[in-house]
Structure 1
Amino acid sequence: MIKVVITGSNGLLGQSLLNLLLKEKDTYKVFGFSRGKNRSGRDDFSYVSIDITNEENLKDTLKEIHPDFIINTAAMTQVDDCEGDKEACDLLNVTVVKWLTEISDEINAHLIHISTDFIFDGIKGNYKETDTPNPLSYYGLSKLKSEEVLINSKIDYTILRTILVFGKVYDMNRNNIVLWVKSMLEKGKEITIVDDQFRAPTYVEDLALACKISMDKKATGIYNISSNELLSVYEIAQQIADAFHLDKSLIKPISTSTLNQTAPRPAKTGFDLSKTNKVLEFYPKSFKEDLQRFKVIIA
């Protein structure tokens, strides 16, 4: 029996991982860590209500469980909030990762960690795992620091870098671009979307599957996980409208400079997926195809 701890088990990726791993209960014994009550709508795993920013509690609980794998999906991901509260950002995005790395070393666990395209400056785009990071925002810097903690450790680790994750789970406390655009257009509301930022969105089911593949293959190192086509955020919104047969004339393009966002965003990211294809034998699809898969789930 493979013991797996998922931090942030109430989140979008956390719940998606629960749903995926609990299909194989003979293989995986799953523990979910999150604050407050279990929001996954499931009771067929071991839920631990825990504040992972309490070092002693986190390490003692992990020592007791002694997992084979820890999948860290917990993070402060609101880019502007990170810019405004650097201390909170560092605690969850860097210090907790340091503690998870230390305990993984002690109990010989493999740590799987989620990172982001925001570690790059967005000048080049189509980034490989080996490209040099240059974050523009404090959020991006915090995620880069968390990667460095793992890279400089002696543990078995996997870093999965991802972009603009979307999907839907049982009880969500945060929106994502697909659900937001769909909801606004269904209400007949006009929305403004940037046409000068380029991304390759990631379906959460794919990111969960990549975590599982990383465990099953015991794959170590850094891998890119996203859809396989770079689109402007405006094009992303238009494809969402098309997929759900909504009025895309309500989507108005604007430039990033008009937004006055607290934290700067990279203009163009996107990933080279060749290492993911080769080593993980995982072949992500286009955003358009992912939307069709997603549509079936929420129909």
Structure 2
Amino acid sequence: MPAAINPPVVLVLGASGLLGRAVHHTLLESLPHGVVVVGTGHSRARGLIPCDVTDETTLREFLAAQAPRVVVNCVAERRPDVVEKEDAKARVLNVRLVEILAEESARLGFYLLHISTDYVFDGTKPPYKPGDDPHPLNAYGEQKLASEKVLRGEDSGERVRPGQGSREEKQGGWDKVWTEVLYGPSADLAESSVTLLARDVLAPLRSSQKKVDDWAARYATHTEDVARVVTAMVDRALTGAGELRGTFHYSSKERSQDLSREEGGEQRPGQGGGRAYTKYSISVLIGEVLGRATKHLEPEASPPEGAPRPQDCELDISALQEALGEEATRSRALRDGLREVLQALAANRMPPPPSSAARLRLLLAGLSARQKSLALPGAFNGLVARAVAHAGFEATYVSGAGVAAGMGLPDVGLAGLEDMTRVIRDVSACSGLPLLADADTGGEGGEGGVRRVVMEYQRAGAAALHVEDQVFPKRCGHLEGKELVPADEFALKVQAAARARDEGQVAGEEGGGNGGLMICARTDARSVVGVEEVIERAKRYVDAGADMIFPEGLCSGDEFLRVSQALKGYNGVNGGEGPYLLANMTEFGKTPLLSVRRMGALGYHATIFPMTLFRWAMRGVLEALEELREGGRVSKTALREGRLLTRQETYELLGYTPGRVWEYPNANAYSRRKGTRRSDFVQEGKEVMEEEDENEASGYGEENPKKK
């Protein structure tokens, strides 16, 4: 069999931000099959890998581990007033991060696409072409200019430019895309200075007028349009069409319609004949879109207070249009974009993230290409799931034994379907991570039973489930006395599970096909018959539709290797690689405790630790109870040695800041739990008191969610 070719990895830094979300989503949707798209964000971001880009060591290790072909940098502190006040802190993101990426691009050979800003110009001589002399007016512009000098190799004669390192010099390279003020799909008006204007438009009428900036030109650009440009540039880098090198400008060219008129009075938006949009004219347009009067808004012709801003930084985008074509560089009309974004905000809809199953598949594909195994610690409640995500793990596991033990029951099939789905919902909602869940024998009732399990697990938020070929009532996989279902009979159960998934049994959920729930077939044949039976059964289960095989109770590294080699490439599944393989590193069982690194080398794509956290936590509970019983209080030694979480550590683990609205990390799972979506449309505890009428967009008069 020919050697496997590692799939190219495209890494999006800052994929939790306004622009990063659009770039990450568009790349996932648009790049060809076989390209692995990885997004990073803060620990609260759903569907992303947490990565602290301010920690230099962590970032360099992360880049080396991912081995990307392309890196798109969407990270920045983009608020000019914040940069003025916190220059050193902002410089870490706006300058030092780019220095590290430039150095690593040279060392690792990836193509770097860096997003910059029009604020490097002073706004006195528009339109600006790439190569025009920059002259920033504020600290934000100065920092972004400094980062661009890093990429051009102008900051130091010693620093290596991207693509000029010791490893495959021809592989590196960089582009910069300068863009202007952005808006796009969001759950929060304040995420964009464009949509934030809606707050004043929607505010209750007051006796005093509200002044709005009518001085600085704004070329508001939709994030999905920028994402389309970025995707076209990435696609060229991946397909051999040729990496673009240098600096390119992109933004909307539309101007306000009130002055853009042809002879005869016909309005023609975006033809360049009128005045550029300002915050005031955008506010008026928002009012028109929402059917709201804007008489309480007054244009302010003087420069705004705070950090100095350029007046007009219109960008000439002709070089990018020539390179990518008109279709890739088109931009939507501001009126249409605002209507789309504001209506989505009213309904509190976010752009759909990749399904948890799709995220799990991407993780497995990316790691298996580098012979690494995905670690899945077992989470038995929502708080533990939060801890798993907080610790930086990329996925988690829900064990039937863990759920049963949490209920005070042994692992003999007593925890029912509702018990399992309750914990799956909690773990999914509180972690935001894709999860694999234990489905024991797949439910009673043959094909109908397993179909119901698939439906309920998928609805609860599981990315994958495993069913086992034991006779019900089952026994722990590391105990003697198990009985097996005939292989052909169990293959029919696997087939039914896969069919239920592929038919998209759950309307409105994650659906079937390549993005649907992963089906993992567990076999306990090792302890009953032997390794050869494990291999034979595994092949039957793959033929029946299993995506992954879980050989339980193997007794040595040699046995793990024997199984993985026998299944390598079998049936051409998973892009010809064969089925994904799952290993169980439970303590005190038949299987030796091997490291995740070793399991990756043995060909296992994922490794579960089903009861590790439960056992460790319960040991702490017993020790605490003993201390309370013996001493009648918590000892100073326990406090001094940090055996207890502090109040602040507990808040951090819960993702809670007093005085701020608390949210589930996984909004999809939240809606499954509560049957509703919360709205953060109303900001800072202020309610919109105006009554809706037939001309108003629905949803803007909701009860203030911070009082719920």
TM-score scaled to structure 1, two decimals?
0.89
The 5 A counterparts of 1:15-94 are: 15-24=21-30, 26-39=33-46, 43=47, 47-94=48-95
Q: Cα deviation per residue 1:183-235 (whole Å; 9 max; x = unaligned)?
A: 33223356421111112111111111111111112322211111113322322
Code of the residue aligned with 1:202 in structure 2: it is T
Give 2:335's aligned residue. 288
Q: How does 1:139-154 map to 2 (within 5 A)?
A: 139-152=140-153, 153-154=161-162
- Aligned partner of 2:103 in structure 1 is 102
The structure-2 alpha-carbon separation of the partners of 1:86 and 1:250, relative to structure 1 and needing over 3 Å to count, comes to same
Residues 1:181 and 2:183 are matched in the alignment: no
Partner SS state of residue 142, structure 2: helix
Q: 2:179 aligns with which of 158, 162, 176?
A: 162
Other structure's SS at 2:99 match: helix
CA distance in 1, matches of 2:130, 2:284: 29
Q: 2:305 aligns with which of 260, 268, 275?
A: 260
Q: What is the SS of the residue equivalent to 1:133?
A: coil
2:313 to 240, 244, 269: 269
Q: 1:293 to 1:226 in 2, by over 3 A?
A: farther
Whichever residue aligns with residue 174 of structure 2, its letter is: Y
Q: Which residue does the alignment assign to 1:3?
A: 9
Q: Which is higher, the Rg of structure 1 or of structure 2? A: 2
Structure 2 counterpart of 1:219, from 244, 249, 272: 244
Q: Could you say which residue in structure 2 is the equivalent of 1:131?
A: 132
CA contact (8 A) 1:225 1:284 kept: no
Letter in 2 for 1:57: T
Of the structure 1 ranges 289-298 and 231-240, higher mean CA displacement relative to structure 2 is found in 289-298
Q: Percent identity?
A: 27
Output the CA distance in 2 between the equivalents of 1:91 and 1:12.
20
Opposite residue 271 of structure 1, the aligned amino acid is L
Matched residues in 1 for 2:18 and 2:59: separation? 21
- Does the C-alpha gap of structure 1 residues 273 and 219 become closer, same or farther in structure 2, counting only changes over 3 Å? same
Is the 8 Å Cα contact of residues 123 and 268 (structure 1) preserved in structure 2? yes
Q: Decide whether the 8 Å contact of 1:76 with 1:93 is kept in 2.
A: yes
Is the CA contact 1:94–1:146 (under 8 Å) kept in the aligned structure 2?
yes
Q: Answer yes or no: is the 8 Å Cα contact 1:228–1:287 preserved in 2.
A: no
Q: Secondary structure at the match of 2:191?
A: coil
CA-to-partner distance for each residue in 1:149-195, whole Å, 9 max, x for gaps?
112224311111111110123x5594213322223322335642111
Distance 2:145 2:297 in 1: 34
CA, structure 1 residues 239+193, in 2 after alignment: closer, same or farther (shift >3 Å)? same
- How far is 1:63 from its partner? 0.5
Q: Give the CA deviation at 1:289.
A: 4.6
User: Would you say the 8 A contact 1:79–1:137 is kept in 2?
Assistant: yes
- CA distance 1:176–1:26, shift in 2 (3 Å): same
Deviation at 1:240, TM superposition (A): 2.2
Contact 1:34 1:50 in 2 (8 A): yes
Out of 264-273 and 14-23, give the one that drifted further.
Answer: 14-23
Partner Cα distance (2:85, 2:140) in 1:
10
Q: Among 203, 226, 232, which residue is 1:207 paired with? A: 226
- 8 Å contact from structure 2 (residues 18, 191) kept in 1: no
Amino acid of the residue matched to residue 214 of structure 2?
D
Q: Who is 2:240 aligned against?
A: none
Displacement of 1:253: 0.9
Indicate if the aligned counterparts of 2:215 and 2:278 stay in contact, CA closer than 8 A: yes
Higher relative contact order, structure no. (Cα contacts within 8 Å, ≥ 6 residues apart): 1
Write the mapping of 1:103-122 to structure 2, written as runs, cut at 5 A: 103-122=104-123
Segments of 5+ residues of structure 1 without an aligned counterpart are none
Secondary structure class of the residue paired with 1:178 = coil
Q: Is the 8 A contact 1:219 1:280 kept in 2?
A: no
Distance 1:121 1:62, change over 3 A: same
Deviation at 1:137, TM superposition (A): 0.3
Q: Is contact 2:10-2:69 (8 Å) kept?
A: yes
Secondary structure of the residue aligned to 1:240 is: helix
Aligned length: 290
- Given the superposition, is the C-alpha separation of residues 288 and 270 from structure 1 closer, same or farther in structure 2, using an over 3 Å criterion? farther
Gaps of 5+ in 2: 1-6, 154-160, 164-172, 237-242, 255-275, 348-708
Q: 1:239 corresponds to which letter in structure 2?
A: L
User: 1:279 aligns to what?
Assistant: 323
Contact 1:276 1:283 in 2 (8 A): no
Look up the equivalent residue of 2:335 and give its one-letter code. K
Match of 2:4 in 1: none
2-side partners of 1:109 and 1:83: how far apart? 33
1:97-118: CA deviation from partner (whole Å, max 9, x where unpaired): 0001111111110111111110
Cα distance change on mapping 1:80 and 1:296 into 2, 3 Å = closer
CA contact (8 A) 1:182 1:244 kept: no
